[in-house]
Structure 1
């Protein structure tokens, strides 16, 4: 919910009801079916005018404040209505097929590979060291002069083989 007119109607309703921030917070506890109410600091953020004032709050907070002030939610808050063209979920779909990340057609630096694999650079160092101790070269590792470069295709193929063997 978004407060109307930077909270002016809310502050006017508080003044008309004779409530300050601490009393309004206490009253939200009385009207809350769960008996929790809102903290003084949250009510202060929502009703305030200063640097810490919030333009938006949860539906629950708006409803409790409106109930405590004996007003309609629409008199104090605006319900934002918007639609997103696609999901903003950070969870991957369990039913759909996973999209594979686009692999670059060039060699990567260790920092780029680390970010791409979502592994730390020290993890890569450890893999290279363990391969060296086995007398192998870590798949995808290419030395260009004294610096390391990595073929991401070879690294991913080796990681896939390793995970299916385990």
Structure 2
């Protein structure tokens, strides 16, 4: 989730509730069904204004903070700011004649985004890729773009569902 207006509505809600960062963090423990809540440091990153402030946070963190402030998530946070262009923004064109590039999915994720999307660690993804390589396969959804790895999240999910069935 992406905080709205650089966290201004969040800070206003905190002020209206009479909560500072440590008290809000403690209150997230009260509203969390697991009882864990959020650390004061994490709440500070989300609510802060300085160099360490974060624009993005997990859905869980946004829900706990909104619940602790007795607000709707949409009042404090918006959707992620990820977007895709349908046209290339590159000013440089390939010099290889006659070579057709493979069709790429509409949305590719880097490993960090995929790990958040799947709620798995980056090392888990690395292990899956290594295991597939040892079997002589390519991990479903893995696409090399230049020298960096990108992932088609739909192909990864489909393969995970097939394996679970």
TM-score calculated relative to the size of structure 1 = 0.53
Give 1:31 deviation, angstroms. 0.2
Give 1:81 deviation, angstroms. 6.2
Inter-partner Cα distance in structure 1 for 2:4 and 2:107: 28
After TM superposition, which residue ranges in structure 1, 4 or more long, deviate above 6 angstroms? none
Match of 1:22 in 2: 22
* Number of residues of Structure 1 aligned to a counterpart in Structure 2: 102
Is 1:34 aligned to 2:34, yes or no? yes
Give 1:69 deviation, angstroms. 0.1
**Quick check: 2:28–2:65 contact (8 Å CA) kept in 1?**
yes
Higher Cα Rg, which structure: 1
**Quick check: 2:2–2:81 contact (8 Å CA) kept in 1?**
no
Is 1:87 aligned to 2:108, yes or no? yes
Inter-partner Cα distance in structure 1 for 2:83 and 2:21: 34
Inter-partner Cα distance in structure 2 for 1:99 and 1:22: 43
User: 1:33 is paired with a residue of what secondary structure?
Assistant: coil
User: 1:88 is paired with a residue of what secondary structure?
Assistant: coil
Inter-partner Cα distance in structure 2 for 1:37 and 1:75: 20
Match of 1:67 in 2: 67
Inter-partner Cα distance in structure 2 for 1:86 and 1:39: 33
Inter-partner Cα distance in structure 1 for 2:28 and 2:60: 11
Structure 2: runs of 5 or more not aligned = 85-105, 112-124, 130-137, 148-165
Give 1:59 deviation, angstroms. 0.5
